[in-house]
Amino acid sequence: MSLSRTVAGAMVNIGIALTALRTNLMRSILTALGVMIGVLAVVLAVAVGSGAQVSVENTINQLGSNMALVFPQPDTERDGPTRDVGKLTERDARTIERSVPGVTALAPQLRASIQLSIPARRVGTNGIAVTPGYATVTNSEIDNGRMIADADVQSAARVIVLGQTVATKLFGDSDPVGETVRVDKVPFRVVGVLTAKGSSLGNDNDDVALVPLSTGRQRFATSLAGPDDLALLFVGFDPAVDLNDAKRDLVRVLRDRYKVRDGDVQPFTVRTTEEFQEQSATVTGVFQAILVAIASISLLVGGIGIMNIMLVSVTERTREIGLRMALGARRRDIRNQFLVEAAVLCMIGGLLGLILAMIAASVFERVAEFPAPIGAPVAIGSILFSAVIGLLFGGYPAIRASRLSPIEALRSE
């Protein structure tokens, strides 16, 4: 009963609001424009922020799903005296494979920036020296040819597997398998091409070239000290394994090997993909919050515009307010009339802003190849938020209108 009365009252006020907004069409459009730009900015900020989140998640998923990364770096998570140099070796990797439960594959690696050349061209790329386990752990697939094999690693064969970007840069559309590529002047035979993974966060995942671990050890210029030192180790786990447990086991095994006592800094660092996800979620969350906060300023300015124009509107329509009071409008009827008018104005601006944001986001996705999703909650939320802006900034003018004295208002010109 009282709800239907409220709805009926709102409908009447929406009608009055639309008439009033039509009366000053140009002014209404300009005022709505302020809110439109504000909503556009906020919705885009939310979309780009969520896009960053999605993008980072994709990057991490492309690393490999259930995996730990071991770096030869002193663990900086704890305070205390630091052994300056980190340590991680192929023997550590073999021990991990033997002693840590749930390990499915290992990918010991060396990394270096390398120059690839054929007689016609020369490109720089990320060289990764790997074992066959690399493909399993990182979910890498072969498009054409074959992956680095055990035999290649044992014989330190001069073979190379190219990422899509490198293959295209060097060979265009023709098949690189069987061709010869020079790595810093030494000839390598191309045995395979990786399936494209695409790019994430501006990082081209296909700008890589894989060589056998042993070959890389001979050819890559690295700063590693020992003869079997590693730059990086990926440890793939069974999907059923809990990564926190896996990390605990892994750290225990390595601490035993390096005889790290309680309170000492360990010469290696272990991170799981789960931790990366959490970390990046925090970072992108902050990033998104900052973006939205900056964008909100324009919405605030739009809101001030609403308040300004509503104050003008109340002044201009003082006589109408007096008349309505004489005809029986209570203070709250007048207040609601102006609140609804401000809310309608804001919601029109909000709707236009949302539509523009959707167009801008889809253009952005296509041009920048960066996801900018606008979900239904964001869409509905932005419209409701516009209404709240209207009620907030329309509140003062509306209350001022409702406090007018009927005779004073009627007398005004």
Partner 1 sequence: MATDPPLLEARDLVKEYDFGGETVHAVAGVSLTVQRGEFVAIMGASGSGKSTFMNLIGALDLPTRGQLLLDGTDLASLSSDELAAIRNRKIGFVFQQFNLLARTSAVDNVATPLIYAGLSATDRRERAAAKLSAMGLGDRLGHTPAKLSGGQQQRVAIARALVTDPLILLADEPTGALDSATSEEIMKLFCQLNDQGITVILVTHEPDIAQYAARRVLFRDGCVVEDEPVHDRRRAA
**Minimal distance in Å, beta carbon 314 to partner 1?**
16
Nearer to partner 1, 94 or 319 (CB): 319
If binding is defined by CB under 8 A, does position 341 make contact with partner 1?
A: no
If binding is defined by CB under 8 A, does position 407 make contact with partner 1?
A: yes
- In the range 163-192, which residues lie near partner 1 by CB under 8 A? none
Nearer to partner 1, 12 or 391 (CB): 12
**Minimal distance in Å, beta carbon 301 to partner 1?**
30
Nearer to partner 1, 84 or 413 (CB): 413
Nearer to partner 1, 323 or 356 (CB): 323
Nearer to partner 1, 16 or 32 (CB): 16
**Minimal distance in Å, beta carbon 327 to partner 1?**
4
Cα 332 to the chain's mean position, in Å?
46
Nearer to partner 1, 193 or 334 (CB): 334
- Tell me the window of 53-61, 224-232, 326-334, 361-369 that interacts with partner 1 (CB under 8 A): 326-334
**Minimal distance in Å, beta carbon 21 to partner 1?**
11
* Spatial CA neighbour of 60 closest among 237, 210, 272: 272
Of positions 64, 324, 345, 350, contacts partner 1 by CB under 8 A = 324
What residues have CB less than 8 Å from 89, skipping those under 6 apart?
226, 228, 229, 230
Site size toward partner 1, by CB under 8 A? 24
Binding mask 12-51 for partner 1 (x = CB under 8 A): x------x--xx----------------------------
Nearer to partner 1, 19 or 282 (CB): 19
- Tell me the window of 89-97, 103-111, 152-160, 403-411 that interacts with partner 1 (CB under 8 A): 403-411
By CB under 8 A, name the binding residues for partner 1. 5, 8, 11-12, 19, 22-23, 319-320, 323-333, 405-407, 410
